[in-house]
Every structure is written in C-alpha cells, then in structure tokens.
Amino acid sequence: MSDDLKAVEAASYWKTKRLEDLSASEWERLCDGCGRCCLNKLEDWETGEIAWTNVACQLLDGHACRCRQYETRQAVVPDCVALTPTAVRSLGWLPPSCAYRLVAEGRDLYWWHHLVSGDPETVHQAGISVRDRTVSEAGMELEDYEDHVVDWPGEDPDGEDGDGRF
Ligand code: SF4
Ligand code: SF4
C-alpha cells in the first residue's frame, strides 16, 4: 500500500476500524459535538417509549454543545452515561445521527461531521446540534419537563431530503 493510500485510510479511520479498535484520541474525535445525548428524556414506564425534551444537563454549554466539566463530569452528574463500544450497541436512546451509533451500525458519517467536512461548525450549520435550542435543567421541576418535549432528537437522520438534516 502506498504512503498516500495509508494516509487516506488513516484519515478515514471510522470506515475501517471497529469501535473496539479505536485509540482514545480517535474515540474522542468521533463525537460530532451535537450535544443531543446531553438532553433529558422521559420514558413511558409501561411502553418503554422515549420522549426527548430540550431540557439540557446542567453541565452542557448550550451554545458550544460541549460539557463544561467533561473530565470530572461524573462527580457532578453521577448518572452521566460513559459511552463504550458495548454501551453504544445497547443504548436504544442514542440519537440516530450519533457518530458512535453510525459506526457501530457499519454506516458512514454524514457530510456535516467534522471528520468529513473538516469544520467543527458544520454540525451546527446543518441544524443537527442542539445549539441555542435548549434550556437548562438547573432549577427546573421534574413535572415541568413534559412542557419541553421535542421530537427532533429522535428523527430519522436521513431526513426528508436524505442529506442528514433534521
Ligand atoms: S449524540 Fe453522539 S455524537 Fe452527539 S454529542 Fe452525544 S456522543 Fe457525541
Ligand atoms: S455531564 Fe456532561 S457529558 Fe454528561 S450529560 Fe451532562 S453535559 Fe453531557
């Protein structure tokens, strides 16, 4: 294999590696920065159906769509789920656009993913992220979450026009 071909393959590592085989750096870079997994959701105890809200975790920066205390987050938010390859395959609520879910399903990343576009802003420009569309859970009563149910986090990532928009 030529050096050029190796370089192309290395740059598109998500196409050739399993989640289990990613380095720590590759794993972290795979996150598209959408912030969708940091929203609260409501589960119907009888049906198991999930309803997403626009109520964000207290640590989410609603504009940057990043965790404010990523390294120490579980000290503040003990129920923050640490993603692992096993967790990605078993968590039914991961957004369909989530890069980890796409790779686990053997699918390619969308054009707006920064590893494809080369620009971390495209996930926001494409309307995939939760940028400026959330409210914080801080100070909010649980019974008020029902007033914040939204449907965009769970919609089909292929969308009506098939380009990954929601
Ligand atoms: S949904 Fe997936 S890609 Fe988006 S922020 Fe969460 S882990 Fe990252
Ligand atoms: S602690 Fe951080 S990573 Fe976990 S849900 Fe909250 S904002 Fe997201």
Residue spans of the domains in the chain: they are 3-149
pLDDT digits (tens, 9 = 90+) for 3-62: 665 565 567 999 999 999 999 999 999 999 999 999 999 999 899 888 999 999 999 999
Long-range contacts of 148-154 (CB under 8 A, 24+ apart): 148/53, 148/54, 148/55, 149/42, 149/51, 149/52, 149/53, 150/52, 150/53, 150/54, 151/52, 152/52, 153/36, 153/39, 153/52, 153/95, 154/50, 154/52, 154/95, 154/96
Distance between Cα 1 and ligand 1 center (Å): 33
Average pLDDT over residues 111-137: 96
Distance between Cα 142 and ligand 1 center (Å): 24
What is the pLDDT, as a whole number, of residue 8? 56
Distance between Cα 105 and ligand 2 center (Å): 24
pTM value is 0.88
Q: Which of 36, 50, 83 to mutate to test the pocket of ligand 1 (most atoms within 8 A of CB)?
A: 36
pLDDT digits (tens, 9 = 90+) for 55-81: 999 999 999 999 999 999 999 999 999
